[in-house]
Every structure is written in C-alpha cells, then in structure tokens.
Chain A
C-alpha cells in the first residue's frame, strides 16, 4: 500500500517529501541504539538519500562523501586481493565509531549505509540494525 502511494505521487513535491519520510523512517531504527550520533543512506556514488544527526558537530552531508570514497577504495583493494568487495567498514576513534555497510555490489540496488556512534556506544547492535535495514530499504527503493 505504501509502495503504491509512492508510485502514484511520483514527480511531485509531495512525492519527494514521502521519499524522505520513507528513507528517514528506516534510519530512525538506529536512533535508539546506545551512543547514537548520526546516520546516513547514500547511493554507492556518495549521493545522500537520507541523513540524520543528533550531534551538531556531525554534518554527514559534508563528510558522507569522504567516508563513501574510503569505502569504494576498500571495495577495489579487497577485490584486488581476491576477497570480493567489502561488506562493512568499522572505523574506531578515541571519541566515536563509524560503521559503513554496503548492500552488495551485485544486487538490484547498490547503496551504502553509515552510522556514527560514541566510543562507548553499542557497536554490535548498530551492526545488527544495519544488517536488518538493508533488505527493507532495497525492497522500498526497487
């Protein structure tokens, strides 16, 4: 039903709002993870489809592309050594953790998900949520 409404509303401002709400709704699953700071959904080229931040210092519209580039370079190098493309990158820093997840390069829609949590945030739960979100987002985008 939701999908049908989205289809009917194509090419209207209402449609854009609906799309943002639809994609943002998926990211909302991450908000309850302990230590959550920010999240984003991007095309594999780094174009932002949806983002959310609860930390004023983190503007993923600005740095999302840089992290996306890191991911794409990792894709290429991992392939070079026969590991296939990378599914996930976890970057640990003294003040936080950045997790990036790929939907898969050979799937219908290749997109990247990103979440930033505090250093003591729940990394395992973030990873699980990203994994669980991938299927529904793919179904919604296709």
Chain B
C-alpha cells in the first residue's frame, strides 16, 4: 500500500541524519559531536520504524531496540572517554586533542 506518511517519515529521517552529520563535521566540541551522533542514531531508528510500519513486520521495532541499546552503550563509553580526555587535557576541543599520547 502506498502511504505518503511512510515516505515523508523516511525523508525526515534523511534530513535528521544530514543535520547530525553536519553537526559532527562542523562542531569542534566533543560533547556536541556526541549529541550529533545521537541525532544520527535517532534518524536511523526512525527509518527502521517507518520501514517496519510500511511492511507491517515486527522486525522494524526489533531493530529499533537494537539501535537504542547501541546508542545507550555508545553514550556511556563515549562520555566516559570525554571525561577522561577532559581530566588529562582540561579541554574537550578535538582540535587540541590531536596527539594519541599527548
């Protein structure tokens, strides 16, 4: 069945993913980059939900569960790394964090 809402939800997912990508590339603060990655994960989750609704299958929501689990684990580890970098360098600016053993 053709449904405009599914199409528009997929378009919205594309827009959100591009916005998150722009955020990752433009911002130089590690915290903002993590937030933008969250937006990109949200966009992919929306695409999964829309596809699951289009086909009437439960797999879309199962992949949504996998995506939010991934997002939660990513945020926990990423924010831990952010804290560690801040303790070492007193900064979360990725332009200053360009040495592995700095």
Say whether A associates with B: no
**Interface, chain B (partner A; CB < 8 A):** none
**Interface, chain A (partner B; CB < 8 A):** none
